[in-house]
Structure 1
Amino acid sequence: MISKEVLLKSEIEVVGKISSASNATFLVKLLDGSQAVYKPVKGERPLWDFESESLGRREMAAYVFLENVDIPVPTTVWRDDLSFGPGILQSWIEIDEVLAVNIVKVSDVYPKPWINSIVGHDANDQEVALIHRDDSSLRKIALVDLVMNNADRKASHLLHSNEVWFPIDHGLTWHVDFKLRTVLWGWADLEFDPEEQKFLKRSFSVVAKDSLLDWISIEERDAALDRIETLLESNHWPSPAPSAHVLPWPIY
């Protein structure tokens, strides 16, 4: 993975635009030939429920948090001097074909390590199940999504490379209102195990530090602390509310 120093100092050459991204996202080449992703602030699509031009900063806050709780995440830096203006520059991850999530017929039998996440209907009104791997790394990613209040944990935001899961695309995080939308509902209603309780307490200590305030507001930081306290008090994974929008769109 590219070092922070290289990402901060290297000149870049724009190779192309990533058409599948919701916001303007560019594949770039660094001087040493390595590749990175560039997301300029001015390419962010306005959203009714998130402050304008705040997604890159939210992604930086997520990077600071994830790095400090030892979740593998692509190296990410903020640059003010790039072609299309300020934004984030992030290591490119070469992925393999391991999938975290799948959609199957409810009648299908899916063996371990797959577990049911949520049941719904497809475009043909057929009952289907959204399933995902029962994997300890994915479970920890789901836990940090609770802390960050991730409103956009799509299947495509879970990258697998060299036996490691990398969570990406954290622009829709840290909102003061509960916004969780995720494909990882398979552990709903389970009790947190002792390691998860310990991890949440560690997360509280990390979030409480002022380093996140470089990127998000004090109200957003304090809301995250309140979420962690609520999770520790309940000692259970939350379950999807029947009347709420609990899945990202699109799923992938």
Structure 2
Amino acid sequence: MKIMVAVKRVVDYAVKIRIKPDKSGVETQNVNMSMNPFCEIALEEALKIKESGLAKEVVAVTMGPSNCVDTLRTGLAMGADRGIHVEAARDLVPLSVAKVLKKLVEVENPGLLILGKQAIDDDCNQTGQMIAALLGWPQGTFASKVVLDKEKQVATVDREVDGGLETLCLDLPAVITTDLRLNQPRYATLPNIMKAKSKPIKRYTPEELNVEIKSGLEVVQVTEPPKRKAGVILSSVDELIDKLKNEAHVI
């Protein structure tokens, strides 16, 4: 079985986000970029499945400008066998990503497609559900545990819901999106980083895949959240109740 994993290049989670002066978006120039943390978890899970003997190949896929190849090389250094880069001049909205992934699935014919549940830059949490709908595949979102049965060709997925844990049984091929508790991604070792430089990366354009890249969304303005007001220390419960009632108006 072949597993395809989508990975995204985002501003590193440890970087303090700055808004552009014109409020058109987030500043990315001269900012440390890295693989989306949820994508790292998705790739780690694919590698664990391969190491258990249930898959023969892991293919990492990314989309965006040429510098996205750095993120792809990180995935190859973690252990992916090869990469696919779909070159796009700008960031793609979730529906465009889902359409590109659908075409790549038709080319690669994987038995399992794994994605992070969301990217930390836009927090859309839409791509996995959209690609499952486009392919007509079963989906297991927010996976905290994944167990494959190669003989029965099914995947059992535990996912966290408001009421606790929900267990799904998915016929393969399927789409799975990963949550934080699924695993702990590995670090790329120096030997694997060196090996990643020679691993193949196939390049496509959206036009070659016959996908029209467009967006029905327009970013009007990006602003920072309002600064939190300083707290106050109250001397009694009566004073607390008075402020909740007359100032906060919550009771």
Task: Give the alignment's TM-score, normalised by structure 2.
Answer: 0.29
Q: Which has the higher contact order (CA 8 A, sep 6+)?
A: 2
Between structures 1 and 2, the one with greater strand share: 2
TM-score by length of 1: 0.28
The structure with the larger Rg is 2
